[in-house]
Amino acid sequence: MAKRILTGDRPTGPLHLGHYVGSLQNRVRLQNEYDTYVLIADIQALTDNFEHPENLAANVFEVALDYLAVGLDPEKVKIVVQSMVPELSELTTYFMNLVTVATLERNPTVKEEIKQRNFVKGVPVGFWSYPISQAADITIFKADLVPVGEDQLPMIEQAREIVRRFNRLYAKVLVEPKAMLGSVARLPGTDGGAKMSKSLGNCIYLCDPPDMVRKRVMSMFTDPTRIHPTDPGHVEGNPVFTYHDVFNPNKAEVDDLKERYRKGTVGDVEVKQRLYDALVNFLAPIRERRMQYAANPKRVYEIIIEGTRKGRTLAQTTMDEVRTAMKIAYKFE
Query: Considering beta carbons, is residue 167 or 199 the nearer one to ligand ATP?
Result: 199
Is the Cα dihedral 293, 297, 302, 304 positive or negative?
positive
Using CB under 6 A, pick the residue from 14, 131, 149, 154 that binds ligand ATP: 149
C-alpha to C-alpha distances, 15 to 43, 47, 231, 267, nearest whole angstrom: 17, 19, 36, 30
| Contacting ligand ATP within 238-267 (CB under 6 A) | none
Residue of the chain from 199, 222, 242, 273 that contacts ligand ATP (CB under 6 A) = 199
148 binds ligand ATP (CB under 6 A): yes
Please enumerate, as own/partner, the contacts of 71-74 that have beta carbons within 8 Å and a separation of 24 or more: 71/28, 71/289, 72/24, 72/27, 72/28, 72/31, 72/36, 72/38, 73/31, 74/303, 74/306, 74/307
Among residues 23 and 139, whose Cβ is nearest to ligand ATP?
23
Question: Residue 262, Cβ neighbours under 10 Å: how many?
Answer: 14
| Spatial CB neighbours of 163, under 8 Å, sequence gap ≥ 6 | 135, 139, 174, 175, 176, 177
Select the residue interacting with ligand ATP from 4, 5, 10, 135 (CB under 6 A).
Answer: 10
Of 197 and 318, the one with the shorter C-beta distance to ligand ATP is 197
Considering only 30-38, 144-152, 238-246, 256-264, which stretch makes contact with ligand ATP by CB under 6 A?
Answer: 144-152
Q: For residue 148, which phi and psi values (nearest 5 degrees)?
A: -145, 165
Binding segment (CB under 6 A) for ligand ATP, from list 15-23, 135-143, 219-227, 288-296: 15-23
Of 10, 113, 149, 136, whose CA–CA distance to 66 is shortest? 10
Closest separation between CB of residue 34 and ligand ATP, Å? 16
CB of 311 to ligand ATP, least distance (A): 18
Least distance (Å) between residue 148 CB and ligand ATP: 3
Q: Sheet with 78-81: list strands edge to edge.
A: 78-81, 35-40, 4-9, 145-148, 178-181
Query: Could you tell me the smallest distance in angstroms from the CB atom of residue 85 to ligand ATP?
Result: 18
Distance, CA of 104 to CA of 57 (rounded, Å): 29
152 counts as binding ligand ATP under rule CB under 6 A = yes
The CB-of-186 to ligand ATP minimum distance in angstroms stands at 5
Three-state DSSP class for residue 282: helix
**From the list 22, 177, 233, 311, which residue makes contact with ligand ATP (rule: CB under 6 A)?**
22
Site for ligand ATP in 178-197 (CB under 6 A): 186-187, 195-197
Binding segment for ligand ATP (CB under 6 A), chosen from 11-19, 92-100, 207-215, 307-315, is: 11-19
Beta bridge partners of 43: none
CA neighbor of 203 nearest in space, from 191, 186, 185: 191
Q: State the CB neighbour count (10 A cutoff) for residue 155.
A: 22
Considering only 5, 6, 23, 62, the residue that binds ligand ATP (CB under 6 A) is 23
Number of residues that bind ligand ATP (CB under 6 A): 18
Answer for which of 4, 198, 272, 290 binds ligand ATP (CB under 6 A) is 198
Residues contacting 53, CB < 8 A, separation 6+: 46
Smallest separation (angstroms) from ligand ATP to the CB of 161: 19
Q: Does 19 bind ligand ATP (CB under 6 A)?
A: yes
Which residues contact ligand ATP by CB under 6 A? 9-10, 12, 18-19, 22-23, 148-149, 151-152, 186-187, 195-199
